[in-house]
Amino acid sequence: MTNRPAYRTIPVFDQRPGTLPVPTGAAANPNATAHTLDTLRRPLRDLRISVTDRCNFRCSYCMPKEVFDKDYAYLPHSALLSFEEITRIARQFVAHGVQKIRLTGGEPLLRKNLEVLIAQLAALRTLDGEPLDITLTTNGSLLARKAQALKAAGLQRVTVSLDGLDDAVFKKMNDVDFPVADVLAGIAAAQAAGLGPIKVNMVVKRGTNDHEIVPMARHFQGTGVVLRFIEYMDVGATNGWRMDEVLPSAQVIERLQTEMPLVALEASAPGETAQRWGYANAQGQYDPRLGEVGVISSVTQAFCADCNRARLSTEGQLYLCLFANQGYDLRSLVRTDTGTSDDTALAEAIGNIWQGRTDRYSLLRAALPPEAQGTGARRVEMSYIGG
C-alpha cells in the first residue's frame, strides 16, 4: 500500500472565476503595481518555485526515509507544471512586484532540462525593467556536473544545503550515504562557474549535528561562501519535530563568539530572513575578506512581520507561508482552455490571494505554551514547496 502524501490532505482552493469568494480584506486588482500589499502591508517581492517533489536525499527534517520510502506516491509527470506554465505564472507574479525567483524542490536539479526553464525566467523583467534575481537551492549532489550549464542559462546564484563536514554526521543527516566531499566539489564547481555569492545552509539539530557549528564556520571563513545556520523547524507533519531539538540561533552565535569574534551587520535587503554577522579582524572590526555568517531563527525570533515570499508548488498550488495549512490552485487557471492568451483571471487571482494574506505562523506559535508549539492544523510538507 502506498503512502498518501501529507500535503494532499490540506485544503486547496480552486481559483477559476466564480469558484471562490475574494478573501476577506482583498479587492480585485487586475492592474497590478509594485505596491501589491497583503493585510499586514507586506509587499510581494519573492517567489519560490518548486520544480519537483522528488529528492535523492532522505534528510530526517524534510523527507524521512520511513515516510518517503520506495512505495511513496510521487506526483505523476502530467500533474507537474510545464516550464511554459511556470513562466506564464511567474510573469504575472512579476507584474505584482516580484523581483526574485528561487527554484527549489525536492531537489531541483533532478528536473530534466532545468536550464530551459532558467533561460525562460531570465528573459523576464521587473516592473523597473531590470533582470530578475534568479537563484536555486540544491543539496549539491549534482551541482559539479551542472554548474556551468546553469550559469550559461542565466542562473545567478546557488544556495547549497550542507549539514556538517564530518562524513558520519552528514551521512546520518542525508540518510543515503552521500559523502561531504562530493557536495564540496559541487560548491567549488559553482564558484568556478561564477554562480555567486554562494550560500551554504546548515540546519542545526540539537544533539545530532550542533557540534559541527564551529568546524563549518572555520571551513568557510575567508572563502567567499556565506554560511547560514537554520533553526530546526516544525514544517509539515512527517519530521517528528520537537522543541527540545531546536538550538536557538542566539546560542549558535554564542558558540561562535567563543572561538572567533563576530560583528553584527545590517540586513542587506528588506524582508531578509537571516541575521548577518561578519568575522572581525584583530582590531575587532568587520573584515569583508573574512566573510560573514548568518542565522535564520524562524522558531525563536520570528520574522513574519517582514515576510514578502510566496511559494508555488510543482503542480501549481500557491502557498503564502512555509507553514501553510491551505493552498490555492493556479494550475486550473493556466490549463483552462479559454482560446486566448489573456491572463487577466490569473493576474486577478494572484492579486486577490496576496491582498487577503494574513499568514504569520511563527509569530502565533511563539505566543503558545511550549507543549502546544508545533501542533494544530496539518501543514504543507517542505519537500513539496521548498525551504
Q: Average pLDDT in the 280-300 region? A: 92
Backbone φ and ψ for 166, nearest 5 degrees, come out as -75, 125
Please tell us whether the domain made up of 6-385 is placed in CATH 3.30.460.80.
no
CB 328 within 8 A of CB 385: no
R_g of the chain computed on alpha carbons = 20
pTM for this predicted structure: 0.88
Query: Is the pLDDT assigned to residue 382 strictly greater than 80?
Result: no
Q: Average pLDDT in the 110-115 region? A: 97
Q: CA 323, 59, 303, 86 torsion: positive or negative?
A: negative
**Predicted pLDDT at 215:** 98
DSSP character at residue 51 = -
Q: Average pLDDT in the 112-129 region? A: 97
CA distance 63 to 386: 11
Cis geometry, peptide bond prior to residue 370 (ω within 30 degrees of 0): no
Which one is predicted more confidently, 200 or 298? 200
Helix (H), strand (E) at residue 179: none
CB 357 within 8 A of CB 320: yes
pLDDT digits (tens, 9 = 90+) for 227-280: 999 998 766 555 556 788 889 999 999 999 999 999 999 988 877 889 999 999
Residue type, 106: G
**Predicted pLDDT at 363:** 78
Per-domain boundaries in the chain: 6-385
Average pLDDT of the residues of the chain? 87
Query: Is the pLDDT assigned to residue 27 strictly greater than 70?
Result: no
pLDDT digits (tens, 9 = 90+) for 34-77: 579 999 999 999 999 999 999 999 988 888 898 899 999 999 99
Q: Encode 227-290 in three state secondary structure.
A: EEEEECCCCCCCCCCCHHHECCHHHHHHHHHCCCCEEECCCCCCCCCEEEEEEECCCCCECCCC
CA distance 220 to 294: 12
**Predicted pLDDT at 6:** 53
pLDDT digits (tens, 9 = 90+) for 196-226: 899 999 999 999 999 999 999 999 999 999 9
